[in-house]
């Protein structure tokens, strides 16, 4: 894995315009139903942002691509939840994730739309909240508005520390 990361970093350093799309992809997967729990998205985004800072890439597009990826991951998860409805709790493939689904459901029931916005910053339940909201029948426009607002707040929290750590280190 270390060799892969070293090679990927070297390749991105030689092709810096791809960093924006890679950040978008990592943010998408970090926000996507179930996958977000399995991958070290925060670490990867910190490293990518650090590389972007070291290469002095513009910050605003980096933030936009991070937010766009997060929104796309959440909206996709919302529609997966909408398609599965309440059956996702009973499906064999999701039995392993029952504690996270239950925690996300409790969080959503308690906080509703505010929970969607705040939930982006809440650990293990985070990638499950959009699917739970979709399964619960939350209005699409309300979900998207809360999700966009939270992604715009989330992107700087995840991107700026890595970016600034390298941009000002040079």
pLDDT score at 1: 55
Distance CA 141, CA 166 (A): 38
Taking the model in full, what pTM does it have? 0.89
Asked if 9 and 53 touch (Cβ cutoff 8 Å), the reply is no
Q: Give the helix ranges, DSSP H, for the chain.
A: 2-14, 19-31, 35-38, 41-54, 59-84, 98-119, 129-135, 140-167
Q: Which parts of the chain register pLDDT below 70?
A: 1, 5, 86-94, 170
6: helix, strand or coil: helix
């Amino acid at each position: 894995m270390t060799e892969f990361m070293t090679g990927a970093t070297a390749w991105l350093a030689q092709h810096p315009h791809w960093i924006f799309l890679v950040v978008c992809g990592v943010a998408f997967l970090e926000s996507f139903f179930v996958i977000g729990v399995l991958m070290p998205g925060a670490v990867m985004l910190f490293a990518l942002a650090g590389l972007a800072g070291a290469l002095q890439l513009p910050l605003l597009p980096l933030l936009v691509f991070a937010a766009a990826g997060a929104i796309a991951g959440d909206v996709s998860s919302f529609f997966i939840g909408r398609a599965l409805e309440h059956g996702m709790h009973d499906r064999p493939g999701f039995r392993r994730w029952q504690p996270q689904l239950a925690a996300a459901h409790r969080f959503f029931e308690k906080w509703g739309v505010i929970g969607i916005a705040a939930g982006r910053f809440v650990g293990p339940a985070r990638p499950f909240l959009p699917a739970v909201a979709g399964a619960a029948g939350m209005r699409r426009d309300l979900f998207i508005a809360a999700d966009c607002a939270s992604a715009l707040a989330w992107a700087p929290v995840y991107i700026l520390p890595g970016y600034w750590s390298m941009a000002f280190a040079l």
